[in-house]
Structure 1
Amino acid sequence: MEVREIALGAGESYELRLTGRGARGYVWTWQVTGNADAVSVSEAAPPPAQTLPGAPLERAYVVRGRSPGGRARIRFAQIRPPYPQEAPYDEFVLEVEVTAATGGP
């Protein structure tokens, strides 16, 4: 399991790309702990429709800083929804500290 720490200003975003195993029925899910209101997480545009069978799929997720002074931990887990009792195939943790927005000129 990889753990990455980042700092975002309020209103700033960070794009995270994770390789998936969609052809084998795995999907990425996420759970936010800590100060859950400090960040928002959304999936970016879906992958191209023309992917070779069995090829790994890269998925992109956008994390946006919302509340200055907040700290959140986002745990991404690659699971197969029909088998929730199975351990995740892969996991990725993103530790996020949200700082005050950086001012422009």
Structure 2
Amino acid sequence: MEVRRVVLGPGERYELRLTGRGARGYVWTWQVTGDTDAVSVAPGPTVAGAATPGAAVELSYVVRALPPGGGRAGIRFAQVRPPYPDEAPYDEFLLEVEVTPGSGGAG
């Protein structure tokens, strides 16, 4: 499992790109742990590019640091096949996010 660490200020965002295997029935799911109110996660924009049928495609996810900041969250992404919930994930990725406290400076 790959682990990546990022530091964000309140309101900042980080775009994560992961390889998709939708043609094989896999989807990426995620679970936030730690300070769950410090971040939000959403599917990002579609990554442009022509893919041949059945080829792996790149998917993006946007992680946003939420105000007021001052927290740490772990986001575990798991590539699973929903029809087989007891099957081990095909791939996993852990994003550790530190959200710095808001500075209160000029906006």
Q: Scaled by the length of structure 1, what TM-score is found?
A: 0.91
CA contact (8 A) 1:16 1:61 kept: yes
Gap regions ≥5 residues in structure 1: none
**Alpha-carbon offset, residue 48 of structure 1:** 5.4
CA contact (8 A) 1:12 1:101 kept: no
Identity of aligned residues (%): 67
Q: Does 1:14 align with 2:14?
A: yes
1:15-34 C-alpha deviation (Å, 9 max, x unpaired): 00000111100000000000
Gap regions ≥5 residues in structure 2: none
Q: Does 1:100 align with 2:85?
A: no
Q: Find the aligned partners of 2:20 and 2:62 in 1 and give their Cα distance.
A: 16
CA RMSD of aligned residues (A): 1.8
Q: Find the aligned partners of 1:99 and 1:50 in 2 and give their Cα distance.
A: 38
Q: Secondary structure at the match of 1:23?
A: helix
Change (3 A) 1:16 1:104: farther
Q: Find the aligned partners of 2:59 and 2:106 in 1 and give their Cα distance.
A: 31
Q: Scaled by the length of structure 2, what TM-score is found?
A: 0.89
Q: Does 1:61 align with 2:86?
A: no
